[in-house]
């Protein structure tokens, strides 16, 4: 198979800059050597021990598509240093939310695997699932534009299985050796300590502009997928290819998908920004309130199964984590269901201390040679050793297996067990009933690995644009517009023109119209030449499965409606509308100018859930305004009331109103459309509330 050595994109021409006065600063060439390595006038990249590095783009592999070698001291040093950069907060995924639940298998995969959790139909396996943002710290908000972590720890009868993924099926990089660079680039810039939980800054886009393999992921990151309406309404993906191993020793490739029972839904960018200000804990609160109310979130577990021969026919390499397998090529098979039904008793003890590791697999599941996965197999364990204080983190209750643990590992920091006896080794003849190897234990797939070892990336990893183009062209028109708008927003925050130009050059390889839209909005008179590539994008058929809008469920189940009322609101109208909302499966909250109770027109009292200024319309999927004419006259002088209406309309939500509400709509400049209906027309409101009014968007904001 053809191979090539992968390198970063060509560096831009160095921009001359005034040299700051650094007199009195400590020397930067800390070490024993004094002088830095020089080669052709360029400072050489070295290990922490001064050894010059010849290739910082690729891990050492047995062959171009082979497993990563433990011998790779450069990879291990770089990843280990990265893993230990933060104490004790997670470096990535620091802000998380989690819940307990169960997994029930509904279709056996006994033909493909011996793993009991995938073969015993009806068996309920306890689990713990953690959702998280990636870039921000533990104190950041819930709703930034960011990838979301989606990690599930299943306490199976054969040991723990950690399926550690994201809500995006692909990733930014192909090789784990680049993970520290990616995260260093997206995190706060080290000289200034900001921005927090944001990718709209120079270091991130500088790295991305020099890393063409990231272009597919950038399309996902700039899409509405990174602005989920709720953690209950996003997908989860194992990202990598894994292997299943059956009783005969036969191997089948597998990719894992979590599909939410409530369907997909996202916020708009302006909405996400305002939610972060109104309720930084929006997603965490949403999960807590729904589990507490018995509205248990659920996901189907689906798999894509394929053979070596199937993989050989793909127009991409399934070992490349920047690629996905379209569902039209390999359909999903639903095999089980996860339900989250219990909130943790203690956030620190469980949500904060839970430790996920991709290395935690039961017999019957195995790894592939994906070089990103291969690096993660080292990184996650190494991170837990640092973050949780030592090798005994598996004894923390949330991490402990629910089956007996028997081995000869002893002692260590925070050892809570008290092993007995004189034997702590194997094999031995002194403890006849001690733990021994078993034929039913974990087995690795017997796969031939031949070829020339080296820091070589397979030629099959070289296509960086075809799936990026496929993803963009698969989106609906509003979703394409949102991608363009996100790129404009992010790149407009970049100070260096050459970085903006480099990104637009990449966009020209993805879609010329997209590049034109972004370049024009960034004020470019002419577009830069397309980015150089040895592998131009191929035309791939659109994949409707990649959309959000086209795949939204026709339901209000799991959604929330805000109903703005005041003293004197029409009791019959309010009660009829609340009944219709509940019947449709949605929750509702009563919003009023004050907390406590409001007195409706029939003198009945209605409990208020939120005060108007503190509960804006951004918190809801649809709103209704039912106020008397007298109260409307008062609210016309209240900015929070006008904003309540204006934001709901600007965020494309359905609005129900009575005569008093109409006065607020007129004050807010709302032009009636199909999504603005009379509160008396319950059916029309429920129908409109199930989706956004996408045709309205062009009327309320200028988008690229």
Statement: residue 7 has pLDDT above 70 = no
Residue 439 has pLDDT above 80, yes or no: yes
Would the pLDDT of 635 be above 80?
yes
Confidence of residue 296 (pLDDT cuts 50, 70, 90): very high
Q: Is the pLDDT of residue 588 over 50?
A: yes
Higher-confidence residue of 674 and 43: namely: 674
For the chain, percent of residues with pLDDT exceeding 90? 84
Residues 470-487, mean pLDDT to the nearest whole number? 98
Least confident of 77-91, 276-290, 391-405, 525-539: 77-91
Q: Which of 12-26, 239-253, 534-548 has the lowest mean pLDDT?
A: 12-26
pLDDT in tens, 536-552: 999 999 999 999 999 99
- Please, what's the b/e burial string for 435-454 (b: 16 or more CB within 10 A of its CB; e: otherwise)? eeeeeeeeeeeeeeeebeee
Helix (H) or strand (E) run with residue 698 in it = helix 697-700
Inter-CA distances, 484 with 47, 268, 380, 472, 512, Å:
40, 13, 35, 10, 12
Catalytically annotated residue among 58, 93, 464, 506: 93
Q: Report whether pLDDT(195) > 80.
A: yes
pLDDT at 50: 84
Asked if 232 and 159 count as a contact pair (C-beta separation under 8 A), the reply is: no
| pLDDT greater than 90 at residue 95 | yes
pLDDT-based confidence at residue 357 (cuts at 50, 70, 90): very high
**Which of 228-232, 433-437, 506-510 has the lowest average pLDDT?**
433-437
Q: How many Å separate Cα 140 from the centre of its chain?
A: 15
| List 166, 369, 392, 399, catalytic entry | 166
Catalytic site includes residue 93: yes
Residue 32: its pLDDT value, please? 44
Q: How confident is the model at residue 40 (pLDDT cuts 50, 70, 90)?
A: low
Q: Which two tokens stand for residue 531?
A: 């980015």
| Percent of the chain that is helix, strand, coil (3-state, to 5) | 30, 15, 50
- pLDDT for residue 27: 41
Residue closest to 320 by CA, chosen among 258, 239, 378: 239
User: Averaged over 164-173, what is the pLDDT?
Assistant: 98
- pLDDT tens, residue by residue, 512-525: 999 999 999 999 99
pLDDT higher than 70, residue 88: yes
Cα–Cα dist 656/160, whole Å: 49
Q: Is 100 noted as a catalytic residue in this protein?
A: no
Q: What is the pLDDT of residue 37?
A: 56
Does 10 score more than 50 pLDDT?
no
Q: Where is pLDDT greater, at 23 or 617?
A: 617
The DSSP secondary structure of 449-487, one letter per residue, reads: --S--BS-EEGGG---SHHHHHHHHHS-HHHHHHHHHHH
Task: State how far the Cα of 136 lies from the Cα of 93, in Å rounded to an integer.
Answer: 7
Please classify residue 48 by burial: count the beta carbons closer than 10 Å to its beta carbon, then call 0-12 exposed, 13-18 middle and 19+ buried: exposed
On the question of pLDDT at 327 being above 90, the answer is yes
Contacts of range 44-49, beta carbons closer than 8 Å, 24 or more positions apart: 47/73, 47/74, 47/77, 48/77, 48/81
Give the Å distances, CA to CA, from 385 to 88, 412, 660.
11, 11, 61
Contacts of 418 (CB under 8 A, 6+ apart): none
Residue 310 has pLDDT above 80, yes or no: yes
**Residues 384-418: pLDDT tens digits?**
998 998 999 999 999 999 999 998 888 988 889 89
Write 7-13 long-range contacts (CB < 8 A, 24+).
7/57, 8/57, 8/210, 8/211, 9/209, 9/210, 9/211, 9/212, 9/502, 9/531, 10/210, 10/532, 11/210, 12/498, 12/499, 12/502, 13/498
pLDDT at 81: 83
> What is the set of domains in the chain, with CATH numbers?
91-176+228-381+391-395 (2.40.180.10), 556-700 (3.40.50.880)
Q: Say whether pLDDT at 191 is over 50.
A: yes
* The predicted structure's pLDDT at residue 23: 41
Number of Cβ atoms within 10 Å of the Cβ of 305? 18
pLDDT for res 437: 86
């Amino acid at each position: 198979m053809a191979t090539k050595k992968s390198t970063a994109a060509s560096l831009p021409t160095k921009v001359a800059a005034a040299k700051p006065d650094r007199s009195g600063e400590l020397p930067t060439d800390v070490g024993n050597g004094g002088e830095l390595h020089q080669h052709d006038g360029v400072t050489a990249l070295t290990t922490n021990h001064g050894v010059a590095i010849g290739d910082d783009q690729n891990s050492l592999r047995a062959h171009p598509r082979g497993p990563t070698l433990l011998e790779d001291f450069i990879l291990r040093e770089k990843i280990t240093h990265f893993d230990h950069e933060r104490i004790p907060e997670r470096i990535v995924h620091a802000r998380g939310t989690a819940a307990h639940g169960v997994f029930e298998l509904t279709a056996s995969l006994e033909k493909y695997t011996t793993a009991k959790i995938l073969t015993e139909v009806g068996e309920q396996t306890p689990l713990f699932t953690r959702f998280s943002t990636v870039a921000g710290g533990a104190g950041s908000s819930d709703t930034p534009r960011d990838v979301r972590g989606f990690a599930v720890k299943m306490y199976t009868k054969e040991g723990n299985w950690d399926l550690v993924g994201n809500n995006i099926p692909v990733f930014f990089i192909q090789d784990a050796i680049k993970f520290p660079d990616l995260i260093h680039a997206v995190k706060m810039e080290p000289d200034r300590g900001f921005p927090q939980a944001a990718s709209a800054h120079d270091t991130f886009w500088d790295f991305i502009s020099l890393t063409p393999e990231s272009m597919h992921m950038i399309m996902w990151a700039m899409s509405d997928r990174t602005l989920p309406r709720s953690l209950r309404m996003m997908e989860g993906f194992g990202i990598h290819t894994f292997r299943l191993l059956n009783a005969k020793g036969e191997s089948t490739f597998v990719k894992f998908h979590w599909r939410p029972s409530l369907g997909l839904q996202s916020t708009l960018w302006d909405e996400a920004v305002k939610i972060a200000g109104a309720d930084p804990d929006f997603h965490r609160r949403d999960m807590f309130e729904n589990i507490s109310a018995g509205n248990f979130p659920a996901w189907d577990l689906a798999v894509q199964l394929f053979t070596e021969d199937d993989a050989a026919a793909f127009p991409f390499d399934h070992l490349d984590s920047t690629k996905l397998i379209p569902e039209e090529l390999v359909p999903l098979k639903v095999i089980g269901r996860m339900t989250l039904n219990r909130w943790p008793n203690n956030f620190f003890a469980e949500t904060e201390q839970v430790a996920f590791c991709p290395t935690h697999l039961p017999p019957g599941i195995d790894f592939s040679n994906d070089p990103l996965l291969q690096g993660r197999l080292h990184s996650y364990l190494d991170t837990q050793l640092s973050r949780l204080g030592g090798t005994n983190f598996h004894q923390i209750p949330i991490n402990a297996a629910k089956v007996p643990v028997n081995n000869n590992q002893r002692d260590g920091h925070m050892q809570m067990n008290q092993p007995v006896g004189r034997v702590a080794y194997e094999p031995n003849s002194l403890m006849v009933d001690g733990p021994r190897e078993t034929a039913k234990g974990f087995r690795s797939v017997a796969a031939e690995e031949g070829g020339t070892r080296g820091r070589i990336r397979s030629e099959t990893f070289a296509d960086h644009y075809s799936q990026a183009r496929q993803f963009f062209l698969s989106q609906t028109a509003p979703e394409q517009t949102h991608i363009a708008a996100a790129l404009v927003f992010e790149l407009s925050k970049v100070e260096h023109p050459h970085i903006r130009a480099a990104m637009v050059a990449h966009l020209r390889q993805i879609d010329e119209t997209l590049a034109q839209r972004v370049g024009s909005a960034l004020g470019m008179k002419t577009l830069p030449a397309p980015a150089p590539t040895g592998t131009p994008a191929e035309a791939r058929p659109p994949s409707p499965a990649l959309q959000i809008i086209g795949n939204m469920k026709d339901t209000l189940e799991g959604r929330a409606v805000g109903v703005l009322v005041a003293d004197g609101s029409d009791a019959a109208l309010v009660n009829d509308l609340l009944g219709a909302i509940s019947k449709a499966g949605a929750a509702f909250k009563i919003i009023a100018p004050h907390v406590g109770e409001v007195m409706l027109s029939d003198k009945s009292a209605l409990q208020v859930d939120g005060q108007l200024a503190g509960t804006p319309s951004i918190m809801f999927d649809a709103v209704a305004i039912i106020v008397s004419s007298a109260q409307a006259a008062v609210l016309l002088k209240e900015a929070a009331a006008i904003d309540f209406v204006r934001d709901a309309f600007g965020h494309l939500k359905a609005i129900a109103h009575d005569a008093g509400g109409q006065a607020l709509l007129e004050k807010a400049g709302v032009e009636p459309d199909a999504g603005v209906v009379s509160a008396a027309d319950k059916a029309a409101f429920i129908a409109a509330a199930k989706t956004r009014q996408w045709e309205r968007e062009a009327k309320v904001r200028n988008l690229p």
